[in-house]
Amino acid sequence: MARHTGARVQRMRGPMIGLLTGCALLASLGGSAWAKTRPVLILPYQSDESDPWFGEAIAETLYLAAQGTPALLPIERGRAMQAARATGGEGAADRSPGALARAVKAEFVFLGDYQRTAGDGITITPRLLDVNTGRTQSLDPVQGASDKLIETQATLIQSYAKALNLGLKPEEVDRLVAAAKPTSSMTAFEAYAKGRRSALAGTQEGNEGAAELLARAVEVDPTFAVAHYQLGAVHLALGNRWKAAAQFRAATQVDPGIAEPFKALGDLFMSSPRRLFDQAIEAYQRAITIRPHYADAHVGIGDAKAAKGEPEAAIAHYQKALSLDPLNARVQFALGKIYYNEKGLYYEAVSAYKKAIDLD
C-alpha cells in the first residue's frame, strides 16, 4: 500500500513541478494569463455582383485589423474554409453563419453586404452576429467614393470595436484601421483578394492560380508587404521553399512592422535539414516583439526550446500561447508531444491530444 501511495505521489509531483515551473516562466514572459478575448469568425461580405471580389477583400482586411488587438481572436480563414467544406457536403449540411461559427468555436461573426452606388461609389453595411443568442445586429452603413474604396472599407473595424465595447484607445483604433489599408492600389488590392480566394480553396490548382494573382499584386505595388507574405505562403504550399523564403524576406524588408513573415521564417528555420533552432527563436521573437499576443509565434519558440532539450521553457511558451489563444489546436498538440516524449506523463499527453482533436 505504501509503495502504491508513493508511486501516486511521485506521479503527481512530476506534473505539479512542471506546472509550477511553467507558471513561473509564464509570468516572466509577461502578460496576464487567461485574459478575456473574443473569438470571431470573419466572412466575406455579400453582393449582387457577378464577381464579388470586394467582399473577399473586406474579409481579408478585417482579419488583418482584428489581429492587431488581443481583445479579438480572429479565426484563421483557412481553418474556417476547411470547416465550411466539412459541413458543406451533400445532405443536411448547415452552412449558415451560425453553424459555421459553432464549428470553429467562434462567439461572434463579422459579416455584411455592399452595393455599388451612382458614380461607382459604394455603400457597405456591416453586421454582427452573436452566436450565443443568434441575434444579428446591423451596424451603421459606411459610404465612400469610387476613388476611396480602400479607405472606406478600412473603417469597418471601428464599427465592430464599438459594437463589442472593446474599450480601445483612439490610437489603438487608428492602428487597426491602418492595418486594414495594406495597399493604396485598387488594382493590387483586387489581385490580392482574388489570389487569397483562390488559395483558400486548398487545392493545387487554387494555389497555382493564387501564385499568379499574388505575383501580380506585388508587381503592381512592390510595397504590398502582406501580398509578399501570402505569395510566400502559396509558394510554400506548392513546395517551393526557396521562393517562399525570398517572399517572406521581401515582406520583412518592405514593412518590418508586420509579424507574420518573421514567424514564417522561424517555421522555415525549424524545418530546415540543418535544424537552425537559434535562428528560429530569433525570428519568432521578432514576431512577438511586433505582436506580443501572437500565439503561434510563442508555439514556435516552444517547439524550438523543446528541440533544444529545454522542456520547462517550452511548456512555459506553450502555456503562454494557450492563454492568448485557447482555441489553438497546435498548442495542445505540442503539449501532448512534450508530455509524452520528455516528461513521461502519458495521461496528460492523451488529454492534450484529445483537446487538440476537439478543437480541430
- What's the whole-number average pLDDT of the chain? 88
pLDDT average, residue stretch 27-32: 43
**CATH number listed for the domain at residues 18-32+187-359:** 1.25.40.10
Give which of 161, 123, 160, 128 is closest to 141, Cα–Cα. Answer: 123
Quote the CA–CA distance of 328 and 342 in Å, as a whole number: 21
Residue 341 has pLDDT above 90, yes or no: no
Q: Evaluate whether 285 touches 300 at the Cβ level (below 8 Å).
A: no
pTM across the whole model: 0.86
What pLDDT is attached to residue 85?
A: 74
- Rg (C-alpha) for the chain, rounded Å, is 22
Q: Which three cell numbers stand for residue 219?
A: 508587381
Helix axes 53-66, 170-179, angle to 10 degrees: 140
**Within this chain, domains 18-32+187-359 and 38-181 share the same CATH topology:** no
Give which of 227, 207, 206, 225 is closest to 217, Cα–Cα. Answer: 227
What pLDDT is attached to residue 14?
A: 44
Residue 22 has pLDDT above 50, yes or no: no
What pLDDT is attached to residue 9?
A: 40
Quote the CA–CA distance of 73 and 340 in Å, as a whole number: 29
The model's pLDDT over 88-114, given as tens digits with 9 standing for 90+, comes to: 554 444 579 999 999 999 999 999 999
Residue 313 has pLDDT above 60, yes or no: yes
Q: Evaluate whether 267 touches 302 at the Cβ level (below 8 Å).
A: no
Residue 12 has pLDDT above 70, yes or no: no
Band of the pLDDT at 144, cuts 50, 70, 90?
very high
3-state secondary structure at position 39: strand
Quote the CA–CA distance of 320 and 308 in Å, as a whole number: 19
What pLDDT is attached to residue 94?
A: 58
What pLDDT is attached to residue 57?
A: 97
Band of the pLDDT at 119, cuts 50, 70, 90?
confident
Q: Does domain 38-181 correspond to CATH entry 3.90.950.20?
A: no
- Enumerate the domain spans of the chain: 18-32+187-359, 38-181
